[in-house]
Amino acid sequence: MSARLAGKRVFVTGAAAGIGAAIARACAEQGAAVCLADTDLGGAERLAGELTTAGHRALAVECDIAERASVEMAVALARERLGPLTTLVNNAGMNVFHEPLAMPDDAWRRCLAVDLEGAWLCSRAVLPDLLANGGGAIVNIASTHAFSIIRGCFPYPVAKHGLIGLTRALGVEYAARGVRVNAIAPGYIATPAVEAHWRTFDDPAAARGRIEALLPPGRLGRPEEVAMTAVFLASDEAPFINASCITIDGGRGAVHHD
């Protein structure tokens, strides 16, 4: 069977660790040339080096998606080294959780800048390549926070709701020109950031167990399980999926309450 992303050139943000790293790895293993963009350049370079050693085409670039100049420089370098981009995965983001009236003003601005505006800045930088190619794919990594509200998590769900709106608006706007824009909404996924969160509790195992008990499979998802959905949406196997969102939460969203 041929590689599912052969000939694709994929720009992945937040690619140094967690879901982004899993997506970058999966795309490379499926034949794509991959640009790993992250503020953690060292982490991105380590993974890019590993992929290159394994025979894949991979490039690491430093990129702060909240800064337009940084995005444009990173995309330009990726284009120069890999060729015109065919695919964008907007994965980079940050957790900003507050009780609304106790939230510092800077927290609101930073959350919206990274979790929503950053996806637009990257899309704006990559879209000209996709349109010139006659088509391509954008995959936005949203969250189940885009549909459900947990008290004390403001303003993160505001940004993720907006990311679904961005997905749908761009998907409709450019569909006739061959560009598909979709989102993935992960639930509880066992990323390094989530594992670090458990360690803040007096009993990390018990804290994790309480969450696992809420999930129908009795476990957290794995980054690789999100990554393969991103591969599918980036591939030519999904030509009529557009302006949509795939939820990856083990069925938690189907549970009325526990």
Q: 258 lies in a domain?
A: no
Q: 195 lies in a domain?
A: no
How confident is the prediction along the chain (258 residues), in pLDDT tens digits per residue? 579 999 999 999 999 999 999 999 999 999 999 999 999 999 999 999 999 999 999 999 999 999 999 999 999 999 999 999 999 999 999 989 999 999 999 999 999 999 999 999 999 999 999 999 999 999 999 999 999 988 999 999 999 999 999 999 999 999 999 999 999 999 999 998 888 878 888 898 998 999 999 999 999 999 999 999 999 999 999 999 999 999 999 999 999 876
Q: So what's the pLDDT on residue 111?
A: 95
Active site residue 156: yes
Q: 212 lies in a domain?
A: no
- Sign, Cα dihedral of 131, 15, 153, 219: positive
Can you give the pTM of this predicted structure?
0.95
Q: 3 lies in a domain?
A: no
The structural domain count of the chain equals 1
Q: So what's the pLDDT on residue 1?
A: 55
Q: 203 lies in a domain?
A: no
Range of the domain at 143: 9-189+222-245
- Sign, Cα dihedral of 236, 240, 246, 251: negative
Q: 196 lies in a domain?
A: no
Alpha helices for 67-133 (secondary structure H): 68-82, 105-112, 118-133
Q: 251 lies in a domain?
A: no
Q: So what's the pLDDT on residue 130?
A: 98
Catalytic residue among 154, 156, 174, 188: 156
Q: 209 lies in a domain?
A: no
Structure tokens at 95: 């957790």
Q: So what's the pLDDT on residue 258?
A: 61
Q: So what's the pLDDT on residue 198?
A: 81
**Residue 185 is part of a domain; what is its CATH number?**
3.40.50.720
Distance, CA of 132 to CA of 143 (rounded, Å): 30
Q: Which among 142, 17, 151, 26 has a CA at the least distance from the CA of 87?
A: 26
